[in-house]
Amino acid sequence: MIIPRLALQSLRNRRITALLTVLSIALSVVLLLGVEKIRTGAKTSFLNTIAGTDLIIGARAGDVQLLLYAVFRIGDATANITWQTVEDIKARPEVKWVVPIALGDSHRGFRVMGTTSDYFDHYRYRRNQPLEFSSGQRFDDLFEAVIGHKVAQELGYQVGSEIVVAHGSGRVSLGADHGDKPFRVSGILKPTGTPVDRTVHLEMQAIEAIHVGWEKGSAPRGDDIQSAEQVRELDLAPKSATALYVGLKSRMMTFSLQRWVNTYPQEAISAILPGVAFGQLWKILGNVEMALLAISAMVVVTALLGMVTSVLGSLNERRREMAILRSVGARPAHVFGLLISEAAALVVTGICLGVIVSFGILYFGRSMIEDQLGLALELKLTTALEAKLLLAIFVGGMIVSIVPAMRAYQLSLSDGLTIRT
Distance separating alpha carbons of residues 152 and 160, to the nearest angstrom: 12
Which residues, listed in sequence order, are joined to residue 145 by a DSSP beta bridge?
A: 185
Runs of H (alpha helix) within 263-383: 274-315, 319-327, 332-373
Burial annotation 364-385 (CB, 10 A radius, 16+ → b, else e): eebeebbeeebbbbeeeebeee
324 CA to centre of own chain: 57
Distance separating alpha carbons of residues 112 and 109, to the nearest angstrom: 9
- CA triple 214-217-219, angle to 5 deg: 50
Q: Please report, in tens digits, the pLDDT of each residue of the chain (421 residues total).
A: 565 666 666 667 677 877 888 888 898 888 888 888 877 777 777 777 888 899 999 999 889 999 999 999 888 888 899 999 999 999 999 999 999 999 988 898 899 999 999 999 999 988 788 999 999 999 999 999 999 999 999 999 999 999 999 877 655 444 467 777 899 999 999 988 889 999 999 999 999 888 886 666 566 665 667 777 888 888 889 999 999 999 999 989 999 999 999 999 999 999 999 988 888 887 777 777 777 778 777 878 887 887 777 777 666 666 666 666 666 666 666 667 777 887 888 889 989 998 999 888 888 877 777 666 656 666 777 778 788 888 888 888 888 888 777 776 666 655 544 544 4
For 92-153, the DSSP string reads: STTEEEEEEEEEEEEETTEEEEEE-TTHHHH-EEGGGEEP-EEEE-S--STTEEEE-HHHHH
Determine which helix (DSSP H) or strand (DSSP E) holds 390, and give its type and residue range: helix 384-415
Query: What is the pTM (predicted TM-score) of this model?
Result: 0.73
**How do strand 95-107 and strand 129-130 relate by DSSP bridges?**
unpaired
Task: Give yes or no for a contact between 63 and 271, defined as CB atoms under 8 angstroms apart.
Answer: no
